[in-house]
Amino acid sequence: MRKFFLFLSTNKKVEKLAKKHGLKLGAKKFVAGASIDSVVKAATKINEQGFLATIDCLGEFVSSEQEAIAATGNCIDTLEAIHASKIDASLSLKLTQLGLDISEDLCFNNMTKILEVAKSYNIFVQIDMEDHSRNEATLSMFKRLHDIYKGTVGTVIQSYLHKSLEDVNELDHYNASLRICKGAYKESSEVAFPNKKDVDENYMNLVKTHLLNGNYVGIATHDSTIIDQLISFIREEKIQKEQYEFQMLYGIAIDLQKKLIQEGYKLRVYIPYGDDWFGYFMRRLAERPANVWFIVKNLF
């Protein structure tokens, strides 16, 4: 089932068909809406409940310079909305929506435009990690931008990749703020661990390594067992709460989110919005069978 939904996430014909029905298929559980107003409203509600937010203006894999420029404008508009509404939120984005596949220079120029605005408003920007074929280019772009916008930009490491521990140790030289997640793309066993047990073990190792190196970590998981183990580790090592936060996706594991907030932990909710929701939605269905069951109940 996971492979099926990951296949659908990149199928343009299915995407076109799905978008005829808009968000009615059940994506509204995971996506705040199509407009900036909808995501500001969702983030405001999240803040009122004690959560931080990161807003993702959905988009990826653009194929023209015009699309990349338009996506850059959308990201800047999102920063303007965060500032104007005074919500406590950061911005998440993907480099392929800003033209990475077209030209690295185009992507870099678009990122500098976004980061100039983010820096002026003191809003943090996280560069999401995409599939393995873009991994090195994403890390290279992060390092290039970090030299100019240190403290304003971070990136993401995925624990299902074999190379991730090497990347974490390399990024220690940059004191990088990292979101560490498991990974949600279809990858071959040559580059990624095929078994969940190995992905989970690597996840624990990556978070512990980056924390012990003295760097900031966004612990992005809904796995309660991993969370409990990491809380024990954090207590044993006397790691300060200023050095980490938990991160979860909008609409998923809400009870666990509330539990962590009640226990005094910092938790940031990843809230996506926009018209380009299909790929994101399919990856959420691929991750958890419970998500699929929710959609089936919605339809019938």
Would you give the DSSP letter of residue 215?
-
Active site residue 128: yes
How big is the CA angle at 126 (ends 10 and 16), to the nearest 5 degrees? 20
From the list 23, 18, 7, the residue with the least C-alpha distance to 250 is 23
Helices (H), 122-160: 135-149
Backbone angles phi, psi at 185, to 5 degrees: -110, 160
Active-site residue, from 134, 179, 283, 284: 179
- What lies within 8 Å, CB to CB, of 22 at 6+ separation is 34
Q: How far, CA to CA in Å, does 131 sit from each of 137, 192, 196?
A: 11, 11, 18
From the list 191, 196, 186, 199, the residue with the least C-alpha distance to 3 is 186
Instruction: Specify whether the CB–CB gap between 284 and 252 falls below 8 A.
Output: yes
Backbone angles phi, psi at 247, to 5 degrees: -135, 135
Would you give the DSSP letter of residue 277?
-
Active-site residue, from 56, 128, 131, 200: 128
91, two tokens:
């911005």
Active site residue 172: no
Q: How far apart (Å, rounded) are the C-alpha atoms in residues 219 and 86?
A: 25
Q: What is the secondary structure of 15-48 as a DSSP string?
A: HHHHHTTGGGGTGGGT---SSHHHHHHHHHHHHH
136, two tokens:
């090195």
> Which residues are catalytically annotated?
128, 179
